């Protein structure tokens, strides 16, 4: 029977989606889920939810729980990672509050910018520990990696543990198709598309419905003010940034407007409140979400605890589809993040790139995409510059590259000078302290 280790299983809602998805596949219905988390309460809540899902499904799946990562990984066929090192407090608070003192404002802070850089420094060493244990305890397993910053993590894993089979997974492509279908009043299953780039800054190179490009309708809708419609997924976050970027660069980005706004130098600028208003940029959005999600989870946990059964529908995550394709050898196409071995020849080799991938019993096979327009390649390189410097900092244990990464970040560099950036990074490193790897731990700046 298939063994699925879930590292960070205290992420209960995400765990629920993956377990529920797995239970939809006959080839996986007898799976053992080894749930691992360091938080006993969240682990117990997740186990309760998973057991009620299994009971509702009538399938013979089993649940194990442990605080011991090695025990969860032993003999695993698949490993799912979903954790956040440092949590909302103290890490997210640090990542947002200290930059504000320098006049640097953020929206999400989990992928690029100083927030993404710090999250990468905190996260990669823990992923390396997972990979080291996998190499010893389940060397044939596939790591389904859902942790941000996705591109930095995927790249760093491949650098240190190239023998570990891994793929970075994100739902930005699926979410964007859903949003575009909403804007254009089309069934999402009828939209055809081809996407390539780097995670969160990939673009829809083809976007059609019944053989006709959807780009003319998107451009005309934006020109006349009919689009974007009020958002489908995040009511507080209008989708204007992505439409504006499409209007100038010609293609639609896979990640939400609140994310994209902080990856580029064009939307969050000191003294330009008009930009924030015109493009509805939701500053400090991620801390707000964290607070709301913690409050919502308290209520959901009570509901799940008292429910006789928990019903579930299939989500649009790729994890269970990958497992089923590998177990049954029934091919399935996903969008996956993998080190560039030539599948995106216009982008730097070894960088983590996101392209269509075919999955079967032989693993995850990326498709070659070699026609990314040059203006999009140029934008993607600005992201890769930062990612590469963070990876080099981690692999070479060179703290100077942390500073260099921040200096090359498009939004940070547009707002701060070199001395401000150095001072800001020093303050961030000092504040995170023991949450960082040894080479990056500094005393607080005088």
Half-sphere exposure of 363 (CA within 13 A, CB side): 12
Q: From CA 324, how far away is CA 306, in angstroms rounded?
A: 32
CB-CB contact of 31 with 60 (8 Å): no
CA-closest candidate to residue 196, choices 372, 443, 415: 372
Q: Pairing mode, if any, of strands 3-7 and 32-36? A: parallel
Active-site residue numbers?
A: 171
Q: Report the DSSP beta bridge partners of residue 5.
A: 34, 79
CA-closest candidate to residue 406, choices 431, 424, 430: 424
**What's the per-residue H, E or C state across the chain?**
CCEEEEECCCCHHHHHHHHHHHCCCHHHCCCEEEEECCCHHHHHHHHHHHHHHHHHHCCCCEEEEECCHHHHHCCCCEEEECCCCCHHHHHHHHHHHHHHHCCCCCCCCCCCHHHHHHHHHHHHHHHHHHHHHHHHHCCCCEEEECCCCHHHHHHHHHHHCCCCEEEECCCHHHHHHHHHHHHHCCCHHHEEEEEEEECCEEEEEEEEECCEECHHHHHHHHHHCCCCCCCCCCCCCCCHHHHHHHHHHCCCECCCHHHHCCCCCCCCCCCCHHHHHHCCCCCCHHHHHHHHHHHHHHHHHHHHHHCCCCCCCCCCCCHHHHHHHHHHCCCEEEEEEEECCCCCCCCCCCCEEEEEEEEECCEEEECCCCCCCHHHHHHHHHHHHHHHHHHHHHHHCCCHHHHHHHHHCHHHHHHCCHHHHHHHHHHHHHHHHHHCCHHHCCCCCC
Phi, psi for 416 (deg, rounded to 5): -120, 150
Inter-axis angle of helices 418-432 and 400-408, nearest 10: 130
């Amino acid at each position: 029977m298939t063994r699925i280790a879930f590292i960070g299983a205290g992420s209960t809602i995400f765990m629920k989606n993956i377990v529920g998805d797995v239970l939809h596949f006959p080839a996986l219905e007898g799976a053992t889920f080894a749930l691992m988390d360091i938080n006993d309460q969240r682990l117990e809540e997740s186990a309760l939810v998973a057991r009620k899902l299994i009971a509702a499904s009538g399938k013979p799946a089993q649940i194990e729980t442990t605080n011991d990562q090695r025990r969860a990984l032993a003999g695993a066929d698949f490993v799912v990672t979903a954790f956040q090192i440092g949590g909302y407090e103290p890490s997210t608070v640090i990542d947002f509050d200290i930059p504000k003192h320098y006049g640097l404002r953020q929206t999400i802070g989990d992928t690029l910018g100083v927030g993404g850089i710090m999250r990468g420094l905190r996260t990669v060493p823990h992923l390396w520990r997972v990979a080291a244990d996998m190499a010893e305890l389940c060397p044939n397993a596939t790591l389904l990696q859902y942790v941000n910053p996705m591109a930095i993590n995927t790249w760093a894993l491949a650098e240190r543990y190239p023998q570990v089979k891994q793929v970075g997974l994100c739902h930005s492509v699926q979410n964007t198709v859903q949003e575009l279908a909403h804007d254009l009043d089309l069934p999402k299953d009828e939209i055809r598309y081809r996407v390539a780039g780097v995670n969160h800054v990939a673009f829809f190179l083809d976007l059609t419905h019944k053989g006709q490009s959807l780009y003319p309708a998107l451009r005309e809708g934006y020109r006349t003010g009919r689009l974007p419609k009020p958002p489908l997924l995040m009511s507080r976050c209008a989708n204007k940034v992505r439409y504006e970027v499409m209007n100038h660069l010609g293609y639609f980005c896979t990640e939400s407007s609140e994310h994209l706004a902080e990856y580029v130098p064009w939307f969050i600028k000191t003294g330009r409140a008009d930009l924030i208003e015109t493009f509805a940029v939701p500053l400090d959005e991620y801390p707000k979400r964290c607070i709301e999600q913690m409050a919502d989870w308290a209520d959901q946990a009570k509901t799940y605890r008292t429910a006789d059964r928990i019903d579930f529908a299939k989500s649009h995550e790729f994890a269970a589809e990958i497992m089923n394709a590998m177990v049954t050898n029934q091919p399935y196409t996903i969008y996956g993040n993998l080190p560039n071995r030539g599948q995106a020849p216009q982008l730097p080799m070894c960088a983590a790139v996101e392209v269509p991938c075919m999955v079967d019993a032989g693993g995850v096979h990326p498709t070659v995409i070699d026609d990314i327009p040059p203006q999009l390649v140029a934008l993607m390189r600005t992201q890769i510059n930062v990612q590469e410097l963070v990876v080099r900092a981690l692999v070479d244990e060179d703290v100077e590259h942390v500073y260099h990464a921040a200096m090359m970040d498009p939004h940070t560099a547009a707002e701060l000078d070199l001395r401000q950036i150095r001072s800001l990074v020093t303050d961030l490193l000092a504040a995170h302290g023991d949450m960082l790897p040894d080479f990056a731990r500094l005393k607080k700046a005088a």
